[in-house]
Structure 1
């Protein structure tokens, strides 16, 4: 293939990442909670031991049916197999580079660090609504259920804060000020 069509500047960590895939800042550690590590490990095991072998059987059967150019099972199976293989490689790299940090082993319980669960009050809302977030790894973040990545602007603003502190950070909606109401580690 002509070198003009080959991307050589992709780093090892960001190699072939799909749109929206979480990426770590250069040189940072891949922190994970034990629960997040377990979920990734379970997904990896499911893909390697169950889904991929079953799909290989389907593709093998479809390949034996003759003309592959119009064989939907074969074409879709090969495409899905590439997706599974990519995900297995991705999970393998993430699990190999993971540093598991157990929030229950945190010693400084009065400050916010990785793994902390923090209850906040939005000061612009006159203290009417409380929200709770747990600071987790990049691969386990899901703001819809209250898990935010440790590299998110809110999490960075909260680091080392104590109960009663007011933190300010830049959100997509503009500058926000939040008061830390409670910090706990579970």
Structure 2
């Protein structure tokens, strides 16, 4: 048979993908972030079980390798998670801290609301920013009425802290 019509192992089907990089920062998470990681682990385990249930023809496939790699990442993040719960009394804190929701106004008076969360929980389009992001670093430890400088690629933006709380 012509070699062009035979399938040889060429390494294109992964047996195990390299692990995803793990942040060097402490893995602080909110209680919601921990729950999200736990739910993601359960979903990945179910996906792996489903893919393996398709028999030998799924062994070594990209979807399975990706799911296994992602599960290793989530398990590592769960193992290193440091849960930072909001204060029991939910009283407004005197300064911006991990887990806090902050309302700010820029130089033009446009307001925005951000919540400082862990890296795996961050969703900037939803106002959830990683504690290690430039914006969060600018806001952390600021109090109501403080003006902070947020370094952006387009220049420095001044933000006034209008309100701090634990809204989540």
Which range, TM-score by smaller chain? 0.7 to 0.9
1:165 alignment partner in structure 2 = 146
Q: Deviations over 1:146-177 (max 9, x none)?
A: 00000001100111100000001211221110
Q: 1:22-171 maps to which residues of 2 (within 5 A)? A: 23-24=22-23, 26=24, 28-48=25-45, 50-60=46-56, 63=57, 74=58, 78-105=61-88, 109-123=93-107, 125=108, 127=109, 129-171=110-152
Shift of 1:111: 0.6
Q: Deviations over 1:5-40 (max 9, x none)?
A: xxxxxxxxxx732xxx7x53x3x3100001111011
1:9 alignment partner in structure 2 = none
How many pairs align?
149
Q: Deviations over 1:36-86 (max 9, x none)?
A: 1101100101211x21111101143xx3xxxxxxxxxx48x7211110110
Q: Distance between the aligned counterparts of 1:142 and 1:121, measured in 2?
A: 20
Maintained 8 Å contact 1:59/1:78: no
RMSD: 2.0
Maintained 8 Å contact 2:115/2:129: yes
Post-superposition, which runs of at least 4 consecutive aligned residues in structure 1 deviate over 4 A? none
Shift of 1:108: 7.5
TM-score normalized by the length of structure 2: 0.81
Q: Out of 80-89 and 108-117, give the one that drifted further.
A: 108-117
2:12 alignment partner in structure 1 = none
